[in-house]
Amino acid sequence: MLEMDHVALQTRDVAASVRFYVENFDAEVLYEDATWAFLRMGQGKLALVSPEQHPPHVALRVSEATLAQAAARAGKQIDKHRDGTIGIYLDDSQGNVIELICYPPGETAYEKKSRD
């Protein structure tokens, strides 16, 4: 089953953007460092990314099997991210980037955090 996981927006100042979304839209910080943050906003999630590191994108959550199939079909290598998620970026042919993202069970920062 395909689910929308998050939207990623670019910012040159992650800390200032985190403050903006927390103060204006009640965002909850799930992860934050100098070049990347991950926020919960209502039932959705927002990533704030550095323009040098990631394109703006919409991420769809998939299983490891679906990700592996899609990567093979697209001829792409699966990237591992600092939070333990894995994924690939796809182009929608109109300049928009779609990420297929997978949260391998027991491997991500969010699960480890919740077990503390």
Q: By CB under 8 A, is residue 47 in contact with a second copy? A: no
Among 18, 37, 38, 46, binds a second copy (CB under 8 A): 46
Pairing assessment for the beta strands 3-10 and 44-49 based on DSSP bridges: parallel
Q: By CB under 8 A, is residue 15 in contact with a second copy? A: no
Nearest distance from C-beta of residue 101 to a second copy, angstroms: 12
The interface region with a second copy, picked from 35-43, 80-88, 105-113 by CB under 8 A, is: 35-43
Query: Residue 58 and residue 100: Cα distance in Å, rounded?
Result: 9
The 10 Å Cβ neighbour count of residue 2 is 10
Query: Residue 53 and residue 32: Cα distance in Å, rounded?
Result: 15
Question: How many residues sit in the footprint of a second copy (CB under 8 A)?
Answer: 33
